[in-house]
Amino acid sequence: MPVQHDVRALLAFLAPWEFSPAALALCAGAVLLYARGVARMPVAERPGVGRRLAFVGGWALVYFVMQTRWDYWSQHMFFIHRIQHLVLHHLGPFLVALARPLPALARGLPDGMDARVLRPLGHSRPLRLAYRALQNAIVAPVLFVGLIFFWLTPPIHFDAMLNARLYLVMNWSMLLDGLLFWALMLDPRTRSQGALIGFGPRIFLLLGAVLPQIYIGARIGLATHELFNVYSVCGRAWPISPLEDQSLGGLVTWIPAGMMHTLGVLVLLARWMRADNEAHVRAAAVRG
Amino acid sequence: MKRLMVALSACLALAACGRHDGVWRTDNIDGLMPTLEFSLIDDTGRPVSAQDYRGKTVLLYFGYTSCPDECPTTLSKLALALKQAKDHGAGDVVLFVTVDPQRDSAGRLYAYTRAFGPQFVGLRGTPQELTALSKRYRITYSYGKPDKNGDYEVMHSTGVFVFDGTGRSRLLVLPEDPADAIAADLDRLAG
């Protein structure tokens, strides 16, 4: 009996709190496309286990915070909401970008779609301009940090937590911006190989973007009055004092977010060194 | 960067001052929440729905009768506001939805709510109906551990949602809002 009860409780926990077909389609679609692509790749070209785990893990985490009971807790507990955004904006997209999934995803598409649909899209001028307008050294970090500040502006936060549609806009904007940002930042290519920003400037941007996050995290974490009263107005998921909840939420905004940027810098350094080595090997091969 | 920081802190500081717009004295949430809809049982045992209260200004509040402080404080403040309002709030109704239907029987709810005034009505529902309603208005509640007498506390929302005669969400009354502000806003809402 207790086992049955546990299973039921687990299923209730995993069942979507507010079912979103879009979230399911995106997370499951990405993983299925990737799996198909990996299966169709020549064995020698397939990504290693680590990369596969990073990709699937990233999407699994995104799905978990958006669609399970975690979402209910996020609506009624500030620090859980901050963890939800940490996953949507930092950790999930970071893992996906870390996996360098584009070759496998392209291979997973139906035959001919790559050439018939994606390439023309990639060459379409308006799309390229729009992508460049977002993905550059000024707009990308400003958007990344700006969204955090925007949704943490108390009256905006208040409305987002009361209005179901605004709540979805908030979470999706964090996820989509996270994917754009980390794809741009963790690009394995050098500038000459096609990356939009070189390794050096990207390291600088990653470190620079930490400062405002430390600032807002500390401001919230160390505040001595309630900044986000919507959780008191609507009730908390379990008993915890408003200031305790707020301090924890501030710490989540401050420390793990900063750590993700530091990790990003380490990844970039490794990718930079590898790209450099490969260039040397190629140069040596040409000379040899 | 420094100027950006200053601008951002100003933004935060301003924002922390609240969302009053100079017209309303409580929080304006016009259309932010779904229209008033529910089907519950009232404190006389009669099945009721939101339709039964159309034409009235509805003040929706979640609580429980064993509540030691917050609920009686809020309800007496609402009672005072209704007394100060035009026609003593004849066009208003306070719906008190219990988040503790296990202990709050219809009789107990009736005795509790009427003590605050004739416009106060207690509502209860099955756990499923209560979950549906709380999900709709994005509120929640949780139960504390029972003591040796079996008494337990219930943590719940503190806001009072105000809907106009058409069921549209209009105002949110917070614990710190004074009775005269509520009365003024109810008068403005009644036109």
CB contact under 8 A, A153 and B159: no
What gap in Å lies between CA A210 and CA A232, rounded to an integer? Answer: 30
Of B19, B140, B175, the CB nearest to A234: B140
B19 alpha carbon, distance to own chain's centre? 18
Q: Nearest-CA residue of chain B relative to A160?
A: B32
Of A75, A225, A238, the CB nearest to B142: A238
Predicted confidence (pLDDT) at residue A206 exceeds the cutoff of 60: yes
What gap in Å lies between CA B63 and CA A77, rounded to an integer? Answer: 19
CB contact under 8 A, B8 and A216: yes
Q: What is the 3-state secondary structure (H, E, C) of B25-84?
A: CCEECCCCCCCCCCEEEECCCCEEEHHHHCCCEEEEEEECCCCCCHHHHHHHHHHHHHHH
Q: Is B100 exposed, middle or buried (0-12, 13-18, 19+ CB in 10 A)?
A: buried
Of A18, A219, A229, the CB nearest to B174: A229
Predicted confidence (pLDDT) at residue B13 exceeds the cutoff of 60: no
CB contact under 8 A, A149 and B11: yes
Q: How confident is the model at residue B54 (pLDDT cuts 50, 70, 90)?
A: very high
CB contact under 8 A, A235 and B19: no
Provide the number of CB pairs (under 8 Å) joining chain A to chain B: 77
Query: How confident is the model over A93-148, as pLDDT tens digits?
Result: 999 999 999 999 999 998 877 778 778 887 888 988 999 999 999 999 999 999 99
**Chain B residues closer than 8 Å to A74 by CB:** none
In order, the DSSP letters of B99-164 are S-TTT--HHHHHHHHHTT-TTEEEEE--HHHHHHHHHHTT---EEPPP-TTS---EE----EEEE-
Averaged pLDDT for residues B134-150: 92
**Chain B residues closer than 8 Å to A159 by CB:** 29, 32
Contact B133, B38 (CB under 8 A): yes
Contact A20, A67 (CB under 8 A): yes
Which of B140, B157, B173 should one mutate to test binding to chain A, selecting the residue with the greatest count of A CBs within 10 A? B140
Query: How confident is the model over B16-35, as pLDDT tens digits?
Result: 444 556 789 999 999 999 99
CB contact under 8 A, A212 and B139: no
Lowest average pLDDT, out of A66-70, A117-121, A126-130, A190-194, goes to A117-121
Please give the biggest Cα pair distance in chain A: 73
Residues recorded for chain B: 191
- What integer best gives the mean pLDDT of chain A? 93
Averaged pLDDT for residues A50-75: 97
Predicted confidence (pLDDT) at residue A283 exceeds the cutoff of 90: no
pLDDT > 90: what percent of chain A? Answer: 81
CB contact under 8 A, B140 and A233: no
Query: What pLDDT is attached to residue B14?
Result: 46
Predicted confidence (pLDDT) at residue A286 exceeds the cutoff of 80: no
Q: What is the ipTM of this complex?
A: 0.84
- What the block records as the tokens of B65 is 């009768």
Contact A63, A27 (CB under 8 A): yes
Please indicate if any CB of chain B lies within 8 Å of the CB of A239. yes
**Chain B residues closer than 8 Å to A76 by CB:** 140
Please indicate if any CB of chain B lies within 8 Å of the CB of A214. no
CB contact under 8 A, A238 and B141: no
CB contact under 8 A, A155 and B15: yes
Query: What pLDDT is attached to residue B15?
Result: 47
Please indicate if any CB of chain B lies within 8 Å of the CB of A277. no
E-only strand ranges, A67-186: none
Please indicate if any CB of chain B lies within 8 Å of the CB of A75. yes
Contact B140, B154 (CB under 8 A): no
What gap in Å lies between CA A286 and CA B4, rounded to an integer? Answer: 50
Of all helices (H) and strands (E), which one includes residue A90? none
CB contact under 8 A, B157 and A235: yes
What gap in Å lies between CA B100 and CA B134, rounded to an integer? Answer: 13
Contact B174, B97 (CB under 8 A): no
- What integer best gives the mean pLDDT of chain B? 90
**Chain A residues closer than 8 Å to B62 by CB:** 235
Please indicate if any CB of chain B lies within 8 Å of the CB of A142. no
- What the block records as the tokens of A17 is 């709190």
**How many Å lie between the alpha carbon of B172 and the closest alpha carbon of chain A?**
9
Query: What pLDDT is attached to residue B16?
Result: 44
CB contact under 8 A, B16 and A227: yes
What gap in Å lies between CA A251 and CA A214, rounded to an integer? Answer: 9
